[in-house]
Every structure is written in C-alpha cells, then in structure tokens.
Structure 1
Amino acid sequence: MSKLVIFDVDGTLVDSQAHIVASMTAAFDSVALPQPERQAVLSIIGLSLPYAMKELAPMADDQTVAQMVEVYKSDFSANRLRSDAMPPLYDGAEAAIAALASRGDMMLAIATGKSRRGLDALLESWPFADVFATTHCADDHPSKPHPSMVQACLTDCDAQAADAVVVGDTTYDMEMAKAARCASIGVSWGYHGVRALTTTGAAAIVTDFSQLETTLDTIWKD
C-alpha cells in the first residue's frame, strides 16, 4: 500500500504573504473598511476566502464579504500578471518534493485554501507539477479545518488515513488532518508558529525541508 503525503501550499510550499497582504488591502479599501493588522491577515491564511473575510471583518454583511472576495481574487490575479512572477518556493521545497516523488512507495497530493484558478496558475509555473497525483482546493470543498479535501485525496489515491500525512504551516492544516484521522507535520517557516502547530496536533515539526523525508519515515515506522 502506497503512502500519501498531502501538502498545503501557502506558507508551506510557497511564501505568498506579500501577495496576500497586498490583495487583502485592496479588498478592504474597496468597501472602505479599516485595514486589519498584518499579523491578523497572516493568521487567516489557509481558510477559504469567504471565511477569512468574515474573520477579519466580522461586522460585514454577506454582500460586502462577497464584494471583498471578488476584489481580492481580481487583485491577486492582476498583481501576478503585472509582476510576471509567482510566489516563490521556500528553499528546499522542490528538492524535497522530487525526492519523495522518486520513491516507489509514495504518492503526493495538494489540499489548499487557494481557489482553483490560483492553484492552477501556480501549478503551471512549476516544472514538477505533474508529480501530484491529485489536487483539491477551496472552490470544491468546505473551508479547512473541515476534512473534506483530505478525504478526497485519500479517495483519489486509494489510500488509508493511517497511511497519509498532511504537511502544513497552520493550525487549520493540523486540525484538518486530525479530523480526517491522519497524522500531520508542521513546518516552522509558515504563518502560525511552532507552538500553535504543536498544540493542535502536529506529530512532528520540521525546521527545514531536508528533514521532511526522514520525519515521514519515522511517523510511519511508529
């Protein structure tokens, strides 16, 4: 039975905070709401956009939230086209993915709060995108930490929860994995911090991508 590694994207594989903060600023400006603190914006990365907006602007009505979501999406896409650049991969990410993909006993997948449009644009910029057996995003599932995306990855890859590990940087990733009865690994370089990841169920924390393969093997051995 193959093992399955399910990756989050923002804050785990790519450093997208500059793009996210800029687009969130545009969204709040569009409805003349006070800008949230940068740390507040980083804290909601991983949630689906409507949920993220409600967290940051709890008094906004549904129509306002919908407008903010559309402005955010448009601005994020426009920023990418203007800069002709995608959020950068973290150091070691591509090498770690290549090492895992080369193993005959392992499959890779993605579960992200990004939209399908955003995820597809990112995948098109990666020469290694075809190593992911399946990808799931916010457009087709309830927001993290609901386990739907992980469960879909398990189904697509014919994998058991006990043979799957979620790799992410937020408490939403750890809680999503727990809800799906999978183990999880937290990465220290993301947006929620090591302490939060540990308290929400991370089986291990890696501080560098070079540690990932060994950590996965240790989890499955135990």
Structure 2
Amino acid sequence: MRLKLVIFDVDGTLVDSQGLIVEAMNLAFEGQGLAPPSREETLSIVGLSLDVAMFKLLPEADAALRARLVDGYKQGYMQRRAETGVAQSSPFFAGARDVLDRLQAQSDVLLGVATGKSRRGLDKLIDGHGLQGMFVTTQVADDHPSKPHPSMIATALTETGVDARDAVMIGDTSYDMEMAAAAGVAGIGVGWGYHARDALGAARHVVEDFAALESALTQIWEVQP
C-alpha cells in the first residue's frame, strides 16, 4: 500500500479568517500612524510569512518599521481572537471538517498542513477547532522561508516518507500553487479563498467547493504510475 499525503493551507482554504486578518492589519498600520492597506491588498498577502507580507505591502519602509508592523499585527490578531474565540473568528468553510474526517479515516491517506501562520497560531487554531491528531505533519512560517519556496512541502514529504508523486497541496493562493509546482507535487486550487481563480494558474485542478475536492484527489492519484 502506497501512502498518500494531502497537505492543506489554512487561512482561505480550511477556515475563513479574513475578517480577523484585515482587522489585525488595520490595527498594526494605525498603531504606527499609517493609513491601512485596502482589504484587497491585505488579502493578497495572506499565506506569506509576515516579514515578507509587510515588505510587499510597504516596500519603502525601513526594516525597523516593518518589524513594528509585524509585532502590531501579531498583537492585534491575538487580542481579537481572544475576544471572539477561534470558532467565530476563523470558522470552517462549509464542508471542510467533513472532508478532513473522511480523508483521515482512509488508511492510506495522511494529512498535513503548510501555512504562513506561526506555530503558536496554528496550535491555537487546532485546539480551538478540536483538530488534535488530525495532521501528521505541520509546517509553519517559523521554520521555513516564505511560500512559494518549496521548503514546507519538502519537509512534509521527508517527515512522512511519502513520494512527491503521491502528495497533493491544497490552497487558495498563487503562493500555494507555485510552492506545489516548485516541490514537484500536484496542486489543487480552491475557488472560495483570497486569490482570484485566474491567479491559480499553476494548479492541476481548481475546485469550487469541498464537495468536489475528493473527486479531484481521485483524478490525480488514478493517473499516477
């Protein structure tokens, strides 16, 4: 039996945390006396490591200012999450939990995460949604270069012993799909996330709801030698 690995992005793929992300970014910029980026600009950087995200949003700023923005974002994010709770601030997209449970129940499928979140942020989300034990490999921004560098996926493959041909990356952004391509694994883009469908050109498939995800996985694995 050949093991398969399904790696999920988190924000914009499994959970809808856009309100929390936008509010935290606004607080960070306002805390430095700056006009916040637009909602679209903020959502465009979801998935990147925070230092890279701040550079993309404010390339003319010096390193010290960007570091303060990163700290302000983290503080705002944690404060708002504590006030509202994980389930409310980062709810599952419709069908996400059911698909996770069905995939986990398959003896030849392993589940993983590759996210721009910190380890602390991911742990809070896993605890808040009762996902303990769901993912056998969890790759976070603390330990890797920012997406779309393939380091997260390469490490997940090493930790699980799964061959790249048997792994799939599922995400909502161009960074996820470009990371998958760079790592030599198939990418499935999701149409409900934070990047437009036409930004997911590196994806093998694009699905519009979780009901279509398992079929797309089957299509990918059926053609593997």
Return the match for 1:89 from 92, 97, 101: 92
Aligned equivalents of 2:85 and 2:196: distance in 1? 30
Aligned equivalents of 1:121 and 1:18: distance in 2? 17
Report the number of matched residues: 220
Offset of residue 34 of structure 1: 1.9
On the 8 A contact 2:173/2:195 being kept in 1, the answer is yes
SS in 1 for 2:203: coil
Offset of residue 192 of structure 1: 0.5
Aligned equivalents of 1:128 and 1:120: distance in 2? 9
Return the match for 1:174 from 169, 177, 186: 177
On the 8 A contact 2:190/2:206 being kept in 1, the answer is yes
Which residue of 2 is the match for residue 50 of structure 1? Answer: 51
SS in 1 for 2:54: helix
Cα RMSD of the aligned pairs, angstroms, is 0.9
Which residue of 1 is the match for residue 167 of structure 2? Answer: 164
- Write out per-residue CA displacement over residues 46-96 of structure 1, whole angstroms, 9 at most, x where no aligned residue: 000011011111111000011110111011001011113341000000000
SS in 1 for 2:218: helix
Offset of residue 112 of structure 1: 0.1
Which residue of 1 is the match for residue 28 of structure 2? Answer: 27
Offset of residue 126 of structure 1: 2.1
Q: Which runs of 5+ in 1 are unaligned?
A: none
Q: Is 2:156 aligned against 1:153?
A: yes
Runs of 4 or more, structure 1, over 6 Å off, are none
Q: Which amino acid aligns with 1:31?
A: Q
Aligned equivalents of 2:74 and 2:37: distance in 1? 18
Q: Which runs of 5+ in 2 are unaligned?
A: none
Which residue of 2 is the match for residue 120 of structure 1? Answer: 123
Which residue of 2 is the match for residue 202 of structure 1? Answer: 203
Aligned equivalents of 1:36 and 1:27: distance in 2? 10
Offset of residue 30 of structure 1: 1.6
Return the match for 1:110 from 99, 113, 116: 113
TM-score, L = length of structure 1? 0.97
Aligned equivalents of 2:37 and 2:130: distance in 1? 36
Percent identity of paired positions between Structure 1 and Structure 2: 50
Aligned equivalents of 2:141 and 2:207: distance in 1? 26
TM-score, L = length of structure 2? 0.96
Q: Is 2:67 aligned against 1:61?
A: no
SS in 1 for 2:199: helix
Offset of residue 127 of structure 1: 2.2
